[in-house]
Amino acid sequence: MELKFVIYVGVTPDKLWDVFVKPEGTRATFFGSVIQSTFEKGSSYEYVGPGTDGDETVHVYGKILAFEPHKVFSVLEHPGPSYRENHAELKSRITITLEPVGETGTTKLTLVNDNWTENHPSFESTSESWPMILSNVKTYAETGKTLDFGW
């Protein structure tokens, strides 16, 4: 099972990278969550923010597989403990790749979410949430505003 998305964003890879790793970018585009990590290969990470366990809900967590600033960010991901009782057994890999395009500051963003545990119960909901998240990332990076999903 694999989810793959390719979009083009009208900002430089540097600016788009900040949306994925800096607290103000992730808070705006990942539903109020921030990523907590040292961002070193092999280190742990958590997306933490408002949810069923309050403001410090761990939505996903895992291990950094690759971290090349402004180019590649890859993680092994588990759903947060409040989502699945067997969260530690469930995993997938997410790889975000940024490539400069043209001369005017456009970036090709490729996101691949693969290596899913067999019968992973979050595959379906994730396939629906990635387009919303990536649309929000694109809008925020280009305009500084987020999308209203009506929640």
* pTM of the predicted protein model: 0.92
Is 37 part of any domain? Answer: no
Is 47 part of any domain? Answer: no
The pLDDT assigned to 8 comes to 98
Is 58 part of any domain? Answer: no
Q: Which two tokens stand for residue 94?
A: 């997410």
Is 109 part of any domain? Answer: yes
pLDDT in tens, the chain (151 residues): 899 999 999 999 999 999 999 999 999 998 889 999 999 999 999 999 888 877 788 989 999 999 999 999 999 999 988 888 899 999 999 999 999 998 889 999 999 999 999 999 999 999 999 999 999 999 999 999 999 888 6
Nearest to 141 by CA among 16, 8, 37: 16
- DSSP state string for 116-138: PPTT-TTHHHHHHHHHHHHHHHH
Q: For helices 123-143 and 13-21, what crossing angle results, to 10°? A: 130
Is 60 part of any domain? Answer: no
| Cα–Cα dist 113/115, whole Å | 7
Is 61 part of any domain? Answer: no
In which domain, by residue range, is 10 found?
Answer: 3-32+67-143
Is 17 part of any domain? Answer: yes
Q: Which two tokens stand for residue 135?
A: 């649309």
Assign residue 98 the CATH number of its domain: 3.30.530.20
Question: How many domains, in total, are found in the chain?
Answer: 1
Is 40 part of any domain? Answer: no
The pLDDT assigned to 53 comes to 77
